[in-house]
Amino acid sequence: MNTEQILSALAYVIFAPILGGLVAGIDRKITAKMQGRVGPPLLQPFYDVLKLFEKEKVVVSRSQNFYVLTYLVFMAFTGALSYSGGDILLVIFALTLAHVFLVLGAYSVNSPYSYLGAERELIQIMLFEPIIILTAAGMYMVSKLTIEGGSFRVWDIATLTTPVILYLPGLFLAFIYVLNVKLRKSPFDLSTSHHAHQELVKGVTTEFSGSTLGRIEIAHWYETVLLMGFIYLFFGYNPLIAVAAIIIIYLFEILVDNTFSRFKWPLAMKSAWMIALILGLVNLCALYYVKGGSL
């Protein structure tokens, strides 16, 4: 890694939680406005996390702290790897591994609600991972148009002069469709939810409290910024358009979150695999044949 890549990785590790917390605060304010409420202060997510770290440490199982800390470390590592321009396949693998540690943390306690949340978290991994892998494959195919042999490196994809979105509209729609899985928003908030009207409010985080729960929230902030980076890759040819697209898409996800109720897991599975995967596979096949099978 060169100096620029190292600085990019450090910048992500330091500033991503700040940006992610601000995005969470903006999310709450907009959601409140949609529901006719005033809403909490913009910095409320930071106040909540600080309060969690001040609470007494209550541990159900000693191993759960280790799993959650590992989850946070891997989430920070995943984003640092992505923003430093590393291999996108390694980024996807690290992202999956991070969530596996969260699932192990939920399984480490003897609670039926925690177990149910862990099982649903595994379902969400199965919903999201095929789409993100297809997205990586599509970006590799597009990179072959300007880079000999193609590239899976995030930096190479982000700096392509070719508009990736024009070649991968189906994959883009598929990615947006399942984005709420990772943002933990309706209709895909299966394993945990911030909506109190649902029968499973905390799910995978039921038995976590205090600083442990605070670390999970910080990891979610890291992940939010990481996901915004994936959206950027579709519009990397023009940074201003990319930033505008990130804002518009996140606002759209907030609208969906406040409009739809949670899917049952069979419907979530069918819709993600049938609708999103069809969009993705058709897009890849069309791109391959339009280019005469040269990709």
Tens-place pLDDT, residues 165-199 = 999 999 999 999 989 888 888 888 877 766 554 55
What is the band of 13 on the pLDDT scale with cuts at 50, 70, 90? very high
pLDDT of residue 198: 52
261 in any annotated domain = yes
295 in any annotated domain = no
58 in any annotated domain = yes
pLDDT surpassing 90 at residue 83: yes
148 in any annotated domain = yes
* Identity of residue 198: Q
Angle at 213 between CA 50 and CA 68, to 5 degrees: 125
As for how many domains the chain has, the answer is: 1
Region 217-246: what's the mean pLDDT?
95
Cα 66 from chain centre? 22
Residue 61 CB coordination number (10 Å): 15
Question: How high is the mean pLDDT of the chain?
Answer: 88
**Burial (Cβ within 10 Å: 0-12, 13-18, ≥19) of residue 184:** buried
105 in any annotated domain = yes
Region 220-230: what's the mean pLDDT?
95
197 in any annotated domain = yes
Domain hosting residue 162, numbered range: 3-290
Name the more confident of 111 and 163: 163
Q: What is the pLDDT of residues 122-172, one digit of tens each?
A: 888 888 988 999 999 999 999 988 888 889 999 999 999 889 999 999 999
157 in any annotated domain = yes
141 in any annotated domain = yes
* Most confident listed range (76-80, 192-196, 255-259, 266-270): 76-80
Q: Considering the chain, what percentage of its residues have pLDDT values greater than 90?
A: 54
